[in-house]
Structure 1
Amino acid sequence: MYHLVLLPAYGETLAAELEYFKIRVIIAVPGGFATKINAPKRSGRPLEGYEVVRDHMDNTVPKYVQIPKGDPALGMGALVDVVRGEGRAAGRGPPPLWLFLGEDSMLDVRARVEKIQSTLDEWKDVGSNLGLPVEQLSA
């Protein structure tokens, strides 16, 4: 989970630092694409004593793994279009900092934004009115 925060934060920092040099950064957030990167595989000899864990994982994981619907060629084609300002991205101006690729990626980020908005609304009274008194600011 840490990497999900670390890389976008680095991308935002990098974008801010490179803006002065007219270098743009795109944080591409892909959804599920049909690649073999997560194909189940085993290497080496299994460790003794972990049979119960392996059996549990072998029976459980396939129930939750969905076949990605994204075409990797179309996803990367969209990214190239954005970088070049062509095709799907023609006439849209400079590339965005955030680019969400695939409907599932967009659904995930909308759900996250709604959760953050809800938390903000629920706790705003706790995080508000925390400034120094005016008389302390001028001292």
Structure 2
Amino acid sequence: MSFTWRYVVRPNGSFRRVGNLNGSLDNVYDEELARLGQDDDEQPERPCSRCGTLLLLDWHGPLMTGVWMELCPACDADRPADHAFIQWHRDTDRDRKALPQLFEDWETGTMHAQGWVRAPQPDDQPGSPAHLRLVPRGHG
């Protein structure tokens, strides 16, 4: 069984991430994936819980962690992964292929700040991000 993520990016830089189990969505066009979740994705912009600035992105952390992740252009610009993701959001000519790595780097850093680290599964191949799990720091 394999699991990867498909990212669908809208012109305004918002996006959705869809689980792709066993490549079941490999032959589905991005436009079709975008239409499938249109109603669910319209959410009002949220202010940063730290400074009140409007967030570029707010996201539920991985399942079972209970972490709410925020990407704030004011609070997070000093962290390298966050800065790169902020720049991607601000760029009008976004490199859509860069999104999965930018998202994963941001998620990893944000979760690490909340006490979680990525730990490979025993049968993982090195550098295979789709098969990494998050565990509380000091475990795994």
Q: Which of the five TM-score ranges fits, normalised by the shorter chain? A: under 0.3
TM-score, length of structure 1 as denominator length: 0.26
Q: Which has the higher contact order (CA 8 A, sep 6+)?
A: 1
Structure with bigger strand share is 2
Which is greater in Rg? 1
TM-score, length of structure 2 as denominator length: 0.25
